[in-house]
Chain A
Amino acid sequence: MAVEKSMASASLAEVVDRILDKGVVVDAWVRVSLVGIEILAIEARAVVSGVDTFLKYAEAVGLTAAAA
């Protein structure tokens, strides 16, 4: 088949998608340091909430305003 079925360990993205925020949680034990992940999430939110995002979508459909 053209679409290959693989184990999750074949792709880091597939692993990240699962093991960091799902599954059995044991409260109060040492867990993953999410510092890096949180920064990524904050950056993603900043982009999503920004005016620039909408302007990016406007550009994607060919809005070409004259330079100011």
Chain B
Amino acid sequence: MDSQGKYLYCIIRCPHERTFDSVTPMGNMPVPVFTVPHDGLSLVVSDSPVQQYETTRAHMMAHERVLERVMKEHSLLPVRFGTVADPGVTIQGLQKLLQTRVQEFHQLLADIDGKAELGLKALWQDEKAIFSEVLAENPSIRRLRDSLAGRPAQAVRYEGIRLGQMVKDALERKRKGEAAHILAQVQPIAVRTRENVVVGDRMVLNAAFLVETTREGEFDQAVRRLEQGLGQRLAFKYVGPVPPYNFVNIVVNWERL
């Protein structure tokens, strides 16, 4: 099996060798997902050919499902998708990876202990209605639009661009206002919050929260209240607990180990 590398899923606190059952590893092969322990920590890995895993649904879901399986029993530091140690890296080499950052990994795991990452996205239900509001709330946009109406497209090109910029800015202000309103209801319950980039014109909020598991029910309630109050206007997408990707960002430089 010399040509086999090791696919890395996550780092956990586990002092011994073990396998994780009821889960299919990357590559859909009949091989175990197992730990490589060192100094109280473990890498969770499976044998894998050294290859660039394409970002297909099957590959990404396989990666995610292994993490969700491990998460049932352990706090974990998730490793970025597609990380494969080449066959030249021995078990001792993998242990060295843990060894060099052992304190930092222990500290990060302690930070995550007893907490869950939750994800909340909010999207405007009706884009057209939002543009109508932008018009209603911004007389200057309305006036400029009316002054351009019916004129030849070439003649109003530059002013049309200016109008579009004004609309875009107004939409962004509106988005930020509504995002702040939503965040005000849930952020106080979280230990940490991370706002990610919104995608498309409908998305108002794309945020991740690190929440004490003892307060997860309280967070659920807050999201429920948001939905009850704003559900006509906003669609909410709520996930969790998810692997804490939004609160673990570190680079280990293998070549300098």
Contacts and interface: CB of A to CB of B under 8 A. Distances in A.
Interface string B36-71: 000000000000001111110100110111001000
Interface in A1-23: 1-12, 14-23
A16 B60 contact: yes
Contact of A33 (B55, B148, B154): B55
B97 interface: yes
The DSSP consensus for interface residues of chain A is mixed
The DSSP consensus for interface residues of chain B is mixed
A36 B55 contact: yes
Contact of B231 (A3, A18, A25, A62): A3
Nearest to B161: A54
B144 to A, nearest CB: 9
B78 interface: yes
B240 A26 contact: no
Given A25-B252, A32-B81, A65-B156, A57 B168 contact: yes
A17 B196 contact: yes
B134 to A, nearest CB: 6
Contact of B83 (A14, A26, A56, A62): A26
Contact of B223 (A5, A25, A60, A63): A5
Contacts of B29: none
Considering the complex of A and B, which 3 residue pairs feature the smallest CB-CB distances, nearest first?
A: A54-B164, A32-B82, A57-B164
Interface of B: 5, 8, 10-11, 50-55, 57, 60-61, 63-65, 68, 77-86, 97, 119, 127, 131, 134-135, 141, 145, 148-156, 160-165, 167-168, 171, 196, 206, 220, 223-224, 226-228, 231, 236-240, 242-243, 245-246, 248-255
